Amino acid sequence: MTLTALNAAAAAHHHPIRVYYEDTDAGGIVYYANYLKFAERARTEMLRAAGFHHTAMMQGDGLMLAVRRVTADYLRPAKLDDALDVATAVTGLGAATVDLDQSIRREGQELCRVHVTIACVGRDGRPARLPAPLRTALSPIIQS
């Protein structure tokens, strides 16, 4: 989904994930920490759809996005071979932060809900303002 499609639909960005053996415990259930990996991949793809690549930000502006805070509610288990959908919605923009709500679903049933705040930091690890083009791209798609 492109940023244009995001704006037109005023909806969350969606990213498909397949559960592989490596994602599960001995019982074939997704290990809890792997939901955070799924959410990270989906956030990265949402930013890529908006035209922002982590490597370009690091090399061009010397800026990185780092997780500042995350909460996760585990509602139902995902299992080996499940096809999942990770929906990511921007819910707020600060001077140096972006708030996102993410929902991991299987066939429409919510399995995990994640709220994350990502912070923009410089190479020295200190907070930095979000790049203006990123703010411009994300502002129209903020959901409440």
Using DSSP's 3-state secondary structure scheme, residue 108 falls into: coil
pLDDT digits (tens, 9 = 90+) for 34-69: 999 999 999 999 999 988 888 888 898 899 999 999
Residues 71-101: pLDDT tens digits? 999 999 999 999 999 999 999 999 999 999 9
For domain 3-141, which architecture applies?
Answer: Roll (3.10)
Q: What is the number of alpha carbons within 13 Å of residue 65 lying toward its C-beta?
A: 21
Residue 117 DSSP one-character state? E
Rounded Cα distance between 107 and 70, Å, is 25
Catalytic residues, by residue number, are 25
**133: pLDDT strictly greater than 60:** yes
pLDDT, residue 10, reads 54
Residue 10 near residue 3, CB atoms below 8 Å: no
Q: Is the pLDDT of residue 114 over 70?
A: yes
Kindly list the domain boundaries of the chain, sorted by start residue: 3-141
CA–CA dist 45, 13 (Å, integer): 9
State how far the Cα of 134 lies from the Cα of 20, in Å rounded to an integer: 33
